[in-house]
Amino acid sequence: MATVTLKGSNQQMPLVGFGLWKIPNEKTADTVYAALKAGYRLLDGAGDYGNEKEAGEGLARAIKDGVVKREEVCKLM
């Protein structure tokens, strides 16, 4: 997946991300898990969405299941 290098930190950020806006809380964990399994490595969220906890649960499950390593994922929240 194509990335851009962030100035200052030299962190690689994917150019394409998966947005978490309007995903109902009860579906967020499964949706994040599926997005990571499909290859997304940038999760785009915000405090106003109200689904940060559930997004974290989906990420934690993906890490536990070996779908992704934490250092491979960029979260914007």
Residue numbers annotated as active site: 49
DSSP string covering 37-77, please?
HTT--EEE--GGGS-HHHHHHHHHHHHHTTS--GGG-EEE-
Beta-bridge mates of residue 44? 19, 76
